[in-house]
Amino acid sequence: MGGKLFRNFSFFSATLSLFLLVGIFAILFTYAQESLHTFGFDFLWSDAWEVGEDDEGGVFGGYVPIVGTLLSTLIAMLIATPLAMGIAIFLTEIASERVAKPVSIAIELLAAIPSIIYGMWGLFYFAPIVQKVVGGNGVGLLTAGIVLAIMIIPFMAAITRDSMHTTPAVLKESAYAMGATKFEVIKDVVMPYAKGGIIGSIILALGRALGETMAVAFLIGSVMSTVNHITDPTTSIPVLLANNFAEAEDLEMSSMYYLALILFVVSFAIISAAKFYFLGRKAK
């Protein structure tokens, strides 16, 4: 009886997740119809965002926020991935338990900090440093990407660390017995064994980076402008939605839903492709 109940509950939970996914897509697609019919796929290549006066609908395009979202996420992942891997390796294979335990707690506490705190810290403390070192006005794509990387490092590092901890000691001891160095054990034993968890941490961090709103809103500039330099201010899809959604009406509102639909599809496509590609390679 208990086994059947558990099986049915598990099936219900899995099915509910699928229905929620389809339901979100259906709602976004429905409310985006006006913008879809008005602009079609030209919406993806237009950098205009002009609200019409009186009865005029206006002209809207998603190129700038789409590029801003992808570039800020790319910067964050390029910075965060090697740092998170290094932290995880240090905590599992190099640091003594006396050092690893407090550092692990600190990493997990970083994940608990609200994103708006990261945004405020980045705006008032980190942006002036970026301005002094790299140039620009301190608020822009680079600053947003760096702070976004700092936000996702704890998630990636914690999951990777836990995955590496699952490596059986007998495998590492056997490698050491055969004369392998610590670097070779990490590269050829620990990393391959924990590959599934490492890939999972990267995918989760990627999803977090694509959808982050508040911290990026403080730092990216919220300007509807095409990026010509990495320090230029621009905007992203979540930031544009957060800033304009309350005042939007009619065609602009539909364009907001169109952007949300694009973010949903892009996130789903990137994460699915990464998952199937890397897990496919893992299975070989």
Residue 279: its pLDDT value, please? 59
Residue 52: its pLDDT value, please? 65
Q: How far apart are the first and last CA of the chain?
A: 39
Average pLDDT score, the chain: 85
Query: What share of the chain in percent tops pLDDT 70?
Result: 94
Q: Which residues, at least 6 apart from 249, have a Cβ–Cβ distance to it below 8 Å? A: none
Please state the rounded mean pLDDT for residues 3-31: 87
Residue 277: its pLDDT value, please? 67
Sign of the alpha-carbon dihedral angle for 17, 21, 24, 27: negative
Q: What is the pLDDT of residues 76-86, one digit of tens each?
A: 999 999 999 99
pTM equals: 0.85
CATH for 63-283 is 1.10.3720.10
Which amino acid is residue 122, in one-letter code? Answer: G
Beta bridge partners, 221, equal 234
Q: What is the pLDDT of residues 164-216, one digit of tens each?
A: 888 888 888 888 888 888 888 888 888 888 888 888 888 888 888 888 888 88
